[in-house]
């Protein structure tokens, strides 16, 4: 077998393993319930600078623990203008879990976190300054779900890359 073929085969095996790993999902905000978020907020328009709300805001007292909803690799932990203190974690099925507006970020880039590991605390960083403390939580997929394309909504093509986290929170 040629070296190039071996490399391609290895990559395909890694992708397949990532896709078949079960996603055991847990609520990321400690002690939060279905009453702590609006079940209709995903893909809400209009929504400030981001135009469309691509996640869910889970409200809690400032300083409440944020735990990783899945086990995975922290791709980035740091600060960005809109999200403030954030963590990006890639987990099973190659899904990227985005945690934003944290007060304290307790994860570090390229570290492994287990499900339930505390990665930060609820805050109001980024464009959440002056608003009620909350976690903005999104789930992204690098593999597009073409049937999710929504030609009727603003930014509907992006819907192929965002999964509704509320579906997972309600089933938790």
DSSP string, 17-55: HHHHS------SBTT--GGGS-TT-TTBS--GGGSSB-S
3-state secondary structure of 134: strand
Residue 8 φ/ψ, nearest 5 degrees? -60, -45
Region 134-163: what's the mean pLDDT? 87
* pLDDT at res. 109: 97
Which range among 9-18, 30-39, 65-74, 112-121 shows the weakest confidence by mean pLDDT? 9-18
| Rounded Cα distance, 76 and 109, in Å | 5
Identify which has the larger pLDDT, 47 or 33. Answer: 33
* pLDDT at res. 79: 97
Place of tokens 């805050």: 123
- Whether residue 97 is predicted with pLDDT greater than 80 in this model: the reply is yes
Instruction: Provide the terminal-to-terminal Cα distance of the chain, rounded to the nearest Å.
Output: 45
DSSP H/E element including 162: strand 162-163
Residue 122 φ/ψ, nearest 5 degrees? -65, 140
pTM of the complete model beyond 0.85: yes
DSSP H/E element including 10: helix 3-20
- Whether residue 54 is predicted with pLDDT greater than 60 in this model: the reply is yes
3-state secondary structure of 58: strand
- Whether residue 61 is predicted with pLDDT greater than 90 in this model: the reply is yes
Q: How far is CA 169 from CA 27, 69, 136, in A?
A: 6, 10, 13
Place of tokens 């077998």: 1
- Whether residue 62 is predicted with pLDDT greater than 80 in this model: the reply is yes
- Whether residue 142 is predicted with pLDDT greater than 60 in this model: the reply is yes
* pLDDT at res. 51: 65
Which range among 6-15, 26-35, 75-84, 133-142 shows the weakest confidence by mean pLDDT? 6-15
* pLDDT at res. 22: 85
| Rounded Cα distance, 74 and 96, in Å | 9
- Whether residue 172 is predicted with pLDDT greater than 60 in this model: the reply is no
Contact of 58 with 28, CB cutoff 8 Å: yes
- Whether residue 110 is predicted with pLDDT greater than 90 in this model: the reply is yes
Share of residues in the chain with pLDDT > 90 (%):
59
């Amino acid at each position: 077998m040629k070296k190039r073929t071996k490399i391609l085969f290895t990559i395909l095996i890694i992708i397949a393993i990532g896709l078949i790993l079960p996603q055991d999902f847990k609520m990321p905000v400690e002690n939060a319930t279905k009453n702590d978020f609006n079940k209709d907020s995903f893909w809400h328009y209009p929504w400030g600078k981001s135009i469309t709300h691509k996640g869910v805001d889970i409200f809690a007292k400032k300083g409440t623990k944020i735990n990783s909803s899945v086990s995975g690799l922290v791709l980035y932990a740091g600060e960005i203008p809109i999200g403030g203190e954030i963590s990006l974690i890639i987990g099973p099925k190659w899904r990227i879990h985005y945690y934003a507006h944290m007060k304290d970020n307790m994860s570090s880039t390229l570290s492994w976190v287990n499900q339930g590991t505390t990665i930060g605390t609820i805050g109001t960083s980024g464009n959440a300054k002056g608003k009620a403390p909350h976690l903005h939580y999104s789930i992204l997929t690098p593999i597009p779900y073409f049937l999710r394309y929504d030609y009727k909504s603003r930014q509907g093509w992006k819907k192929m890359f965002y999964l509704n986290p509320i579906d997972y929170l309600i089933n938790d």
